[in-house]
Amino acid sequence: MARDATARLYDVDARSIVLDKKEGTIRFQARKGCTVDLDQLHESIWATRLGDGTGMELKWLEVTAVGEVIAGDKETLLKAPGGQQFLLGEDTTFKGGKSLKELREALARGEKLVSLSGRVDGWKGNLTRFTSTLPGKPRHILVRDFQTTKP
């Protein structure tokens, strides 16, 4: 049901969707030239009507994004194609990968962002409660890894 709801999104490549019942995960990617709109993804999850009686929960939403990173004194912002914007933060629960601090240092050296991976903060919990309210904006990606190119 959740797999089908994800496949209905116009910006998701339906052939990329992989449901792993053992791990309890759904993996997918955007169609070439598209970005996945998180408001539409939230609505799609809501449309499944999975809730308290099913024991279903959203453990996390992990994304890989591209775009322009703007590092200010206090905040670091990712502007993704299609107009979505994310504040970037540290994932203090993750060991390994690369941190937001390392990303800021790479950008200061003149490197350019290729991609950034992390978990979207607030996208977790019991599906009934999660789907009743769209998680706030601006959205935060807790950085877990990134790729850059040297100048």
Name the nearest CA neighbour of 39 among 118, 136, 124. 136
**Segment 59-116, tens digit of pLDDT:** 888 999 999 999 888 899 999 887 889 999 999 888 888 999 999 999 999 999 999 9
Residue closest to 85 by CA, chosen among 70, 101, 100: 70
45: which 2 tokens? 């999850």
Name the pTM for this structure. 0.83
pLDDT tens-place string over residues 35-62 = 888 888 888 777 776 666 666 778 888 9
Picking from 5, 141, 129, 118, the residue whose alpha carbon sits closest to that of residue 62 is 118
